[in-house]
Amino acid sequence: MDIKKRIGIMGGTFNPIHLGHLIVAENAYEELNLDEVLFVPSGNPYMKDYVDVLDAKTRIDLVGEAIDDNHHFAMSTIEVDRDGNSYSYETIASLKQANPDTEYFFMVGADSLFMMEKWMCPEKIFSEVTVAVASRGGVDQEKMLEQVAYLEEKYNTKIVVLHSRAVEISSTQIRERVRKGQSIRYMVRYKTEQVIRKKGLYLD
């Protein structure tokens, strides 16, 4: 029997991408025995205020700089290339159609786990991929596990809880620090910071 390729999907606005994203991806790569982690920058994130989001090309450049030296990290511009809003279920369907021999793991933070039923067509997500959850310090572990059990039963699915916790860094905090002229060292990769400073990003 052929062994399927195992790929993790890490979607997000990446506004900007930071070390928290990269650490979760690296830990998931090891813990889930993945062949690759695919970073998928969002196009129009319909559940976020788009005013404060950098243009897609700039965010893609930042992700590219951040992952370029990791051979098991890759990027897809599938959501940016699609017209209109970005819906995870459509992204997953497109990836699976293009790569039917691949098993996908859809990576989310614990806070997103409580929001997924408000997403567009959550049942299609749960039926097509294994959801992998990274716990966060601000989320009650017991409540998170209760939510996992609830979603598994309701959608007849399997959800994996990653053992390693997400690092508490937020893109919002990074943007605020840039505006105030404060250091973002050790929050983003050096190359990412260089691009942000050189292009004067997040100063408006």
Describe the strand order of the beta sheet including 73-75 as a list of residue ranges.
73-75, 36-41, 5-12, 102-109, 130-134, 159-162
Q: What is the pLDDT of residues 67-94, one digit of tens each?
A: 999 999 999 999 999 888 889 999 999 9
pTM: 0.93
Domains identified in the chain and CATH numbers? 5-168 (3.40.50.620)
Q: Please, which pLDDT band fits residue 43 given cuts at 50, 70 and 90?
A: confident
Tell me what the pLDDT averaged over the chain comes to.
92
* Tens of pLDDT, residues 97-140: 999 999 999 999 998 999 999 999 999 999 999 999 998 777 88
Give the span between the Cα atoms of 84 and 77, in whole angstroms: 14
* CA nearest to 160, candidates 140, 137, 138, 144: 144
pLDDT at 165 over 90: no
Is the pLDDT score of 147 beyond 90? yes
Q: What is the pLDDT of residue 138?
A: 73
3-state secondary structure of 9: strand
Instruction: Answer whether residue 47 shows pLDDT above 70.
Output: no
3-state secondary structure of 123: helix
